[in-house]
Each structure stands twice: as structure tokens, then as C-alpha cells.
Amino acid sequence: MTSVFDAADAAPLGHEALAGVAPRRWAQLRFQWHPSVQRLTLWWNVPQLWQALTDHGARPPASLAAAPVQWLLWREQLTTYFRSLPETEAAALDAARGGWPFAEVCELLCDELGDSEAPAQAAALLRGWIGSGLIVSAA
């Protein structure tokens, strides 16, 4: 959480910036991510413990999950956020952060979800990432 909070500032990309992208450019579009964006894979309920301590609530007992949980951490202005990620979003996010062009991220979603569900999921993920201020540019 400290590295997320201490990350460099960067202006997030607005939804309107993508409205001007020519259709032929979408396949090769790559995203630049806010410097605060971090990913974690945790087996223990660390985020729940952190939240309880932050909220001065009752601390749950430490517990080991049956499977690891994927987490996304980021900062908007002076507020840090974290949330768990479904496996499909975690894979798409990791690919996009790894420099994959948007077409390849969409292919990954097709492999995971099928051709009929992938386009809507790609649009929803991109809308959510931009709405959360995770993306700072697209080229």
C-alpha cells in the first residue's frame, strides 16, 4: 500500500480520449498504466485484515484460502484502493500491462469466454479500468 500511495502522479485518461481513436487503430492500441497500479496474488486474507485495521473494526482470524486470490491495487489522487479480481480480468489486465495490443487482449478473452461473450467483456473491462483511473494513455 505504501508503494501505491507513494507512486508518481499521472493524469488518468478520460473516456472521451478513446472516442477519437480510429477503428483501424484499435487492434494495435496499447495502454500506459498509472504508476500506482500494482498486482498481488495472495493466499492469506491480508486485505480483509488490512481493512479491519484501517476501519478500527474487529480483526478476523488469519486464514489460508483454498486457492490464491488475485488483487489489484491503485491510487486515485490521495486515496488508495484495492479489490479482488476474477481470474479472467486478472489475465487480461496482466496481458495489457505487459504491453499486449488490445487485439491480443481480446483474443485472450475469446479463449477464456468464447467469441460471443468476449467483446462485451473487453468493453466492460476497458470502461472499468478507465473509470478507475488506471490508464493514463493509449497509443
**133-72-109 Cα angle (round to 5):** 85
CA distances from 42 to 12, 56, 64, 68, 70 (A): 27, 22, 9, 5, 7
| pLDDT tens digits along 71-88 | 999 999 999 999 999 999
Q: Give the separation between CA 45 and CA 40, rounded to whole angstroms.
A: 12
What is the residue range of 36's domain? 2-138
Q: What's the mean pLDDT when you consider all of the chain?
A: 95
At residue 39, φ and ψ (nearest 5 deg) are -125, 140
Residue 94 sits at φ, ψ, to 5 deg, of: -60, -40
User: Which CATH number goes with the domain that contains 36?
Assistant: 3.90.930
3-state DSSP assignment of residue 45: coil
- Give the total number of structural domains in the chain: 1
| Grid coordinates of 138 | 493509449
- Per residue in 93-128, pLDDT (tens digit) is 999 999 999 999 999 999 999 999 999 999 999 999
Q: Mean pLDDT across the stretch 30-49?
A: 94
